[in-house]
Amino acid sequence: MTDKIKKSYRDLREFIRALDKSGELIRIKAPVSPYLEITQITDLMCKSPGGGKALLFENVEGYQFPVLINAYGSERRICMALGVNDLDEIGRRLEKILEMSPPCGLKGHLELLPIALDIFRSLPKTRKKKPPCQEITRLGNDVDLKKLPVLHCWPQDGGPFITFPLVITKSLETGKRNVGMYRLQVFDSKTTGMHWHIHKDGSHYFQEYKKAGKRMPVAVAIGTDPATTYAATAPLPRGIDELLLAGFIRQKPVPLAKCLTIPLEVPAYAEFVLEGYVNPEETRPEGPFGDHTGYYSLVDEYPVFHVTAITYRRNPVYFTTVVGRPPMEDCYLAKATERLFLPLLKTVFPEIADYWLPWEGVFHNITVISMTKEYPGHALKLMNGLWGQGQMSFSKALVFVDPEVKLNQADEIVRHILNTLDVSADIYITRGILDVLDHSSPDALVGGKIGIDATHRVHGEQPRKMPEPTGEREITGVVRKIKDSVRGITDIYVPFTDTRNVCALANIRKTKKHRGKQIARALVTSDIKQPNIFVLFDDDISLTDRSLVAWKLFNNVDPLRDIYRNNSRLVIDATKKEIDDGHPRPWPDDIVMDSEIVERVARRSEELGIADFL
C-alpha cells in the first residue's frame, strides 16, 4: 500500500471520517431493517471483489441510532484501522522488542530509550474527568437494550445478537483484566447471553467467581477506536492485558473511565457501554447463531448477563459486524492476527519462516507453515510442538512446506503437495483438542488431527515413493470407469491432471447401504493407479467452485474417522455426517439467507447505492 496512513484514531468517529474522506465508506440513507436486511446487504459487500466498502446505515427502521458495519472488511481498511501501511508493520515493531539484548555502555542504553518509550506509551490511563462514553446515562428501570439497533443476522438465529462487543472482566484471584469478544444474544430489555467458550479467558475468570460463589461484574464497550476493538479479538496469552496491545498498536495509551455501577474501567471514548453482572449459577439456552464457520452454532446453556446501566455518547454510532461463510469482515481481522503473531511464534519455533491461515479454514481448521528443515523428523517435531502451543493447539490440520513455496497461493500449494506427498509416509493422524465450533468430530472439543509433511527430504530420511506420472487421456478414461463401477458416485472432477499424485473430487449420493465409508473403502481398495487421491462431497456441492470445495473439506472432516489409506491411495470423506456415518452429534445447517430477503435487496440495489457491487 502506498497511501499515507494515520497512525492512530482517538475514537470510532475519527475513523469514520477517515473512511469517508478516503472513499471507503458508503452512507445508506434509505430505510433498512435490522432483521436480516442489513445482513444481506453486508454479505453482498463482503463477498464483492476486495471486500467492497464500509457501510453506514443512517436510517435503521425503528431506531434512532445509525449502524456502522464492514469497517475493517478489506486489506486497505484493516491497515487504516491499525495505522499501518502493511500488516507486517506491527510485527516488525514487536520483533525489535523481542530481539532486545542487554545494553552495553551509554550508547546501548540510549538505543533502548525509543523502545522503552514505545512500551510506556502502551499503558492504559484512567481519566478523572467525565468521559464521553457517559454523556448520556440510563440506570435501573431506564435500562432498555431494545433501544439499540441490534441485528438479527441470519434466518435461524435465536434472536438479535450484539456481535462486536468488548467484554471486560477481571480475575478474582489476580485482578488482571481481560478484554474479549464474546457475542451477546439479547433476551429482553435487561439481559443477554454471555457466550464465552470454555477455552476463553472470560470463561476462566467466570469459573473463579463460580467457585467463590460470587457475582461477577462485567462491562461491555461497543464502538471503540479501531486498535482497541481489534485487540479484543487477538488471542493473547492469559493475563496479558488487551488494552496494552491496543496502546502498542496506537502508540499512545487507551484512555479509560470508571464505570458507574460496577468496579471496572472501560474505554472512555466508546460509543456505548453496558454495565452489569453475571450470576455464578444462572444459565439460559443461547443460540442458534450463524457463526464465522459458515454454519449455525447450536443451542447450548450459557451464563446470563444482567445489565444495570447503559451509557453512551451524544449521537452515538452502533458498531457491529456480521459473520458467516468466508470471506467476511472478520477474515481481515484474522489476517492481521496472523501477521502480528508471527514474530511471537518464531521466538518459540525459530525454524518457522512464515505461515498462512486460509480463510476457508475459518481460522482453526488448517494452517500452512513454511519451515527451514535441518534434520530428520524436524517437521514432526514442529508439528507436535505447535499442537501444544496456545491457540495453535486448536488447529485441526497442519501442512509443512519449504520456505521457497509461496504462501497465499492456493493452487501453487496444492500442486506442491500433490507433487511431493508420499501418501504412505508423509501423513500423520492423531487425536487432540479442537475448537468449540468444530462440528466434524463425533465428540465435542476433542477429535482427529492431521499433519502433512510436504517438505524436502534431508539426509537420514527415507526417499519418497511417488506414483508415476499419468496422461490426461488415461485419467479421463479411468474416471469414466469409476463413475460406472462405484455405486453412489454421481460426478467426478479432476482439477490437476499433470501432478505426480492425481486428486479427484467426487460427488456422492448416499443411501441406507451406501454411505461415505462404503464408497471410500471401494475406492481405496480398487486396483486403479490414478487418480490415487479422492475427496468425497455431497451431491449438491459444485466441484469446480474451489473456495466452496476447500471450505467443505476443511470443516467437514474428522481425520480419525473420515480418512482412508492403503499404501499409495487416499480417500477423504468430506460429506455431511449422520448417525449412520458414525456421528452421534447434531450436524449444523449451512447458513443461507432467506430468499425473500435476497430478492428484496436485489430489487432495492439502486436505492441502497450498492448496485455496482452486485
201, 225, 291, 435: which is the annotated catalytic residue? Answer: 291
Is 102 domain-assigned?
Answer: no
Single out the residue in 453, 486, 502 at which a domain terminates.
453
Asked if 263 and 201 touch (Cβ cutoff 8 Å), the reply is: no
What pLDDT, in 10s, does the model give residues 550-587? Answer: 999 999 999 999 999 998 899 999 999 999 999 999 99
pLDDT tens digits along 467-481: 888 888 888 899 999
Same domain, 168 and 211: yes
Render pLDDT for 408-439 as a digit per residue (tens, 0 to 9).
Answer: 889 999 999 999 999 999 999 999 999 999 99
Provide CB contacts within 8 A for 63, sequence distance 6+.
34, 147, 148, 149
* % of the chain exceeding 70 in pLDDT: 95
Look at residue 313 and tell me if it is in a domain. Answer: yes
Q: DSSP E strands: which ranges in 14-121?
A: 25-28, 54-57, 67-69
Over 90: is that where the pLDDT of 101 sits?
no
| 425 and 481 housed in the same domain | no
Phi, psi of 500 (to 5 degrees): -65, -50
Quick check: 110 pLDDT over 60? no
State whether 483 and 445 are in the same domain.
Answer: no
Regarding whether 534 and 387 lie in a shared domain, the answer is no
Same domain, 429 and 311: no
My answer on whether 200 and 304 are in the same domain is: yes
Single residue among 419, 453, 487 that ends a domain in this structure = 453
For residues 490 and 529, state if they share a domain.
yes
Same domain, yes or no: 389 and 481: no
Whether 7 has a pLDDT exceeding 80, the answer reads no
Is residue 606 a part of any domain in this protein?
no
Question: What pLDDT is stored for residue 94 in this prediction?
Answer: 83
Element (H, E) at 337: helix 329-340
| pLDDT confidence of residue 116 | 53
Active-site annotation holds for 144? no
> Do the domain assignments include residue 161?
yes
pLDDT of residue 2 exceeding 50, the answer is: no
**Residue range of the domain that includes 273:** 1-87+121-325
Distance CA 142, CA 151 (A): 22
Q: What is the pLDDT of residue 471?
A: 82
Read off the pLDDT of residues 335-382 as tens digits, 9 standing for 90 and up.
999 999 999 999 999 999 999 999 999 999 999 999 999 999 999 999
Pairing of strands 191-193, 300-312: antiparallel
Instruction: Tell me the per-residue pLDDT of 160-193, one tens digit each, with 9 for 90 and over.
Output: 999 999 999 999 999 999 999 999 999 999 999 9
Confidence of residue 120 (pLDDT cuts 50, 70, 90): low
> Which residues lie closer than 8 Å to 386 by C-beta, 6 or more apart?
349, 367, 369, 392, 393, 395, 398
Checking if the pLDDT of 296 tops 50, the result is yes
Q: Which of 426, 453, 480 is the last residue of a domain?
A: 453
Percent of the chain residues topping a pLDDT of 90:
84
Query: Does residue 441 sit within a domain?
Result: yes
Interval 480-501 mean pLDDT: 93
Say how far apart CA 503 and CA 535 lie, in whole Å. 8
Q: Residue 119 above 80 pLDDT?
A: no
For residue 430, give the C-alpha cell. Answer: 492423531
What whole-number distance in Å separates Cα of residue 186 and Cα of residue 150? 8
Is residue 80 domain-resident?
yes
**Interval 269-277 mean pLDDT:** 98
**Confidence band, pLDDT 50/70/90 cuts, at residue 1:** very low
CATH of the domain at 384: 3.40.1670.10
Q: Is the pLDDT of residue 20 over 50?
A: yes
Q: Do 188 and 238 fall within a single domain?
A: yes
pLDDT for the residue numbered 99: 64
Is 55 among the domain residues? Answer: yes
User: Within a domain: residue 248?
Assistant: yes
Does residue 165 share a domain with residue 40? Answer: yes
